[in-house]
Amino acid sequence: MKSLINSHPMHHLKKIVIGAAIFLSVIGVCTNTVTASSKNETIKQNIQTLQKSDQRWIQVNLATQRLTAWEGGKPVYAVTISTGKQSTPTRTGSFKIQSKHKSTRMRGRDYDVPNVPYAMFYQGNYGIHGAYWHKKFGTPVSHGCINVAPNHAKWLFNWASIGTPVVIHQ
């Protein structure tokens, strides 16, 4: 029989720490899966509710890089967009337009863009706005915002009001 008196206490501590780390990793994976699943369900339910209303709302499909403006269950305008790159993704969820600016300056760690047209912010610095500096619509290139060609951004800006729901999903 092996004596525990001569065994090193750190050896047992390492086993406990490794076991706990594996356990917590498994819990983390399961929790993230459940959280993502319930978030997706909430988004689906919000879309269904909005489609049954007569309310104006905006749907952003990240997978297809399409934005659709709706009046209840009727699509009234659809455009190709550019959302966030993999390193700076566009957040999914249900939001509401909080502020509108005909023109604004947008700054970040590695960008500073003046005169960004027709910006509508729905969460902090995340917004839908015109992008005159690229023509890569249909490809994720932004820092998390939803880029729209300026003429389409103008139409959306004039159509939507503060409080208009914005639903963003994969």
Catalytic residue positions, numbered = 129, 145
Give the whole-angstrom CA distance, residue 127 versus residue 118.
10
Helix (H, G, I), strand (E, B) or coil at 17: helix
DSSP string, 78-123: EEE-B-B-TTSPPPPEEEE--EEEEEEEEEETTEEEEEEEEEEEEE
Is residue 118 within 8 Å of 64, Cβ to Cβ?
no
Total Cβ atoms within 10 A of residue 38: 10
| Of residues 144, 149, 143, 157, the one with CA closest to residue 102 | 157
| Of residues 83, 92, 103, the one with CA closest to residue 157 | 103
